[in-house]
Amino acid sequence: MQPQSVMIDYLQNEVKPGEQLLWWGKPELSRRAKAASTATVVYIVNGILAVLMLFLVAFDIHLLYEENSLLSEPDPFTILLLIVAIGLLGLNLYRIYAAYSTAQKYITNLRHTIYGITNQRVIVMTAGTQGFVVNSYGANDIGQINRVETGDGWGDVSFGKPRHVQQGGRTLTIVEKLVGIPEVQKVADILTRTFKVTPSATPSAPIWHPQQYPPTPQQYME
């Protein structure tokens, strides 16, 4: 994974001629908004089902032992029930693992992500083993801007248009956001003034000056 200083350099190189970097920052996991996670529901539901299937497997094994003792051969239905119970147990355990793996991947990506806002787009860069994955969101991609504050000026800012994705048998609604960022109100204001205020309504006051905000990389890493 790339160190933070390298990520900042890559972000600055990503800015095109004519673009102005208005703000940049990195997610702080402990400062992000804690929303109800769909993974928690998956853990609870499939955990309960896995325990039930485990009891059913144990019951079937005991039943097979009794049938061997009394009938000299097991009932085919009992064998079928055991196979089904083992299959359902494996399925529930896999769903728990898949939900955990997805959550861990999301957290790992956040630790190696850097955000940038220019006068033309929102940039999200994530460092991986093969380099950087860069996602850009222009004016047409910006939806309703909402912020959730977690204290001391930190929090999340959602800015994307809602989109629906399939995950297993569920349909999830996802909105792009800047997660665990400082001075969340200022960032929301930058997004609003840059992408939501029409030129005719733009106030004459100067925009956020890049020498004042965002801070320099040295200040940010202190």
User: Would you say 158 and 145 are in contact if contact means Cβ atoms under 8 Å apart?
Assistant: yes
Q: How far is CA 150 from CA 54, 57, 177, 182, 203, in A?
A: 41, 46, 15, 10, 30
- Residue-averaged pLDDT of the chain: 82
Q: pTM of this prediction?
A: 0.70
pLDDT given at position 23: 93
pLDDT at 219 over 60: no
In the numeric block, the tokens 């940039």 are attached to 123
List pLDDT tens digits, range 176-206: 999 999 999 999 999 999 998 765 544 444 4
Alpha-carbon distance of 151 to 164, in angstroms, equals 30
Q: How far is CA 135 from CA 113, 114, 126, 166, 187, in A?
A: 11, 11, 9, 20, 18
pLDDT given at position 131: 79
pLDDT at 7 over 70: yes
Please give the helix or strand (H or E) that residue 113 lies within, else none. strand 113-118
User: Would you say 144 and 166 are in contact if contact means Cβ atoms under 8 Å apart?
Assistant: no
pLDDT band at 167 (very low <50, low <70, confident <90, very high): low
pLDDT given at position 201: 45
